[in-house]
Structure 1
Amino acid sequence: MLRRIPIRWRLAAAFAVSMAALLLALGGFVYLRVEDALRSSVDQDLRAQSAESLAHAEDGSLLDTDARRSGMVAQVVGPDGRVVQSDPVSLPALLDPAVVAAARRGDVLTTVSLGAGELNRWRVLAAPDGDRVLVVAHPLRQTEETLHRLFGGLLVAGPLGLLLATLGGYLLAAAALRPVESMRRRASAISATTPGARLPVPPSRDEIHDLATTLNEMLARLEAALEHERRFVADASHELRTPLALLKTELELALRRPRSAEELRAAVGSAADETDRLVLLAEDLLLIARSDQEALGLRIEPVDLGELARSTADRFAERASHEGRRIAVEIPTDTEVPADRLRLEQALRNLVDNALGHGEGTVTISARREGAGVELHVRDQGRGFSSDVAARAFERFSRGDDARGRGGSGLGLAIVEAVAQAHGGSAGIARDGGGADVWISLPSTR
């Protein structure tokens, strides 16, 4: 139930409770301090009057004119406990015999009631005077009336102050949350059809400003990711369209008129080649999609890079020989890294295939240690990457203009980078003027 209440009301309620406790404590403190000050003033007057009365006791006058005007009364109690002198004369005994007996041993301050009601209380000081006791009393009526007025004022001012403070707290909370409400309204209108839309950022340099800035940065990242996925789907659709169209054409031509066995065999062979291309493209797309979700499922084991490079070179040896080229391996046999052999072999095959398809001369596979890792390099002797192609070589479906007529999906180097990153490494391109040098860096320990 509490969660359904708006935050501004909850903040105002919490502020009201805190302010009520503060006002209650402050009111109690003020009341007690005023009461203590008034009582201390009365006691001080009693002690001053008692000292003066003792000094003039032989004159027969117990109180001076000012004391009588303030309402003070006084008595002298004899050794037998009876009142021997009073001012005024008709004053009844102010203290019980027990209190008088205690006063013979030292001053006694006490409060007594000399009639019905709260406003008939008196503050009494009993002081010894030889074998007698001087009793001086001051009425507390004025003091208690002052305290009652103070209490009434606190009862009125406290709730009024609490109401004003609560209203101020509500307005303050509403003002503080107004930018949040503005961001909420704008966020409700943002969708995939409103690219570039951002939340309003308040001018104040506070937490709300930081929140709006962070959310706008998140929107920018989401927009970039959405655009990346749109481009990925569009590029994948484009790449799939060509082999599917060729496959459909081959099958339609085979069915258009009666064909000889040789022609049917050629048509089926061409369709099988396009099917293989489709399967390979689908596998590459699946690997890229899994790498986005960090779910390649690596099986880490010690991999001998020299043995892996030689087996890869053997796989491409016939193709390289047919093109009048060769593949050289310059890796010691004892160079090992913890890796997934199948994924690392796939990445290395893509590098060699890319070097044979777009480079020239000898393709060299080498490895060298760099810090705590190992770099696996594939170099050729061609023209290398141009600066604009090198900047986007690892992007998906990225191909240079001169490479578009040579086939390929443009996913080879993207898969290389995905495999390297899945192993905790990276991929890069070096341009030294003597050809292309593409490498992947792998940690040597895991």
Structure 2
Amino acid sequence: MNFFPHRLNQLLQPISVRLAAWYALAATTTLACLFFAGYVLLQNHLINGLDLLNAAEFKQLKSHLGSDYKTLTGEVINARIRETTDYASVLFYINVDNPQKGMLFHSTNLNGRSMPDIKGEHSFNITMDGIGELRVSEYFLPPFEVSIGTPLHQVRSVMDGYMIVCLTLLGGMLLVSTSIGYYLSRLALRPVRLISETANHIHSDNLSHRIPVSEVNDEISDLGRMLNQMFDRLELSFNQIRRFSAEASHELKTPLSLVRLYAEKMLLDANRSNHDQDTLLELLEEVARLDRIIEELLFLSRAEANAITLNLKPINPARFLQDFELDACTLAEHHGRAFFHTHDGEGCISFDDSRMRQVLLNLLTNALNVSPPGGKVTLRSRLDEGLWRFSVEDEGPGLPAEEYERIFERFVRITPPNSEDKGNGLGLAICRSIVELHRGRIFATAAANDTGLQIVIEIPEAVS
């Protein structure tokens, strides 16, 4: 029921289409108003022409009657009028009425009928059966009333032809104005599209890119300059955050190493109570956790600065995954889950096996943590047409679609109920950095069973 309004709303969403529609509507409406005014003026002009014909016929009739018509008998008057009107019976319909004595004359084409009278009107339109529409003019020739009618079918034919021409031209105007309006709107909005495309390609890893701004001082140029100023501030803020993250991580490594050494030294003291030893062990676990976070932050900082060199070498993905399957099955069994993997396609692809193993372990750990006890994690791999595509799929509760992109940001943790996840929210950020170093891409989507999450990775076969 609501399909057509919904479809129309979808079609009118682009501003270029809306501008073209408004332009076409304005141009077509303007032309329609001009055509309507022309219709009224032309119709009035043609009808006035008929009134002039009626007036000319009355003058001719009056001249044939002569100035002594009042002294003539009815038969003589009838004969004189008929001499005048018989030759024009194709064009004119004439009544001569004497209000005191009744109808004095009918033209032969009226077949004995009288044209109806409209009181108070000198010129008017009537319709008679068998004759059609007439333009009637009434004149007073004391003591007679003369009615002269002229057919309107020629006027109506001209006006119908005019209407057909106008409608045809309006249809053409609608098509032409829509095309011109769409072209002009696209031309006018080209700078806006350029701004949108450039801004869409600016990410955290290429904040130095800027929107090209023309020297013309218009609203579009002002918008471009304003966005460039905003990107300047964003780039400065990002650089400060990255520098702080790298420097803070580096500065914290030495104090943490000292804390770990002191704790290990104190743990070797045989005089420590069991409670103290348990406390020291917990301290060492937290120090190790902080050390892992610092290492991961340093890795992310180096990756963003392109300071990491990959050890790329041609590797058969099928053999690589077979080796990984041994550790994956052991890890899954430890969590009370099952691991399965499939691979399709033959050939080799260049990648850093240690970094890619790190990616798979991170994804596997996350999938095991969110899958229910007894559930399974599936790794699907395919090498085809220059692309290695693999995915890790769990049987967990999944995520809302709006969270698919956010989970790859730093320190973002979306932990389902009863999850065993004790991570720090950096695992997927590291996975994304490693994949991007391979010039690949990583993204999340719903699992095939619609109950879990699927992380998909695509690595191109040739890495430059």
What TM-score does the superposition give when structure 1 sets the normalisation length? 0.47
Greater CA radius of gyration, 1 or 2? 1
What TM-score does the superposition give when structure 2 sets the normalisation length? 0.45
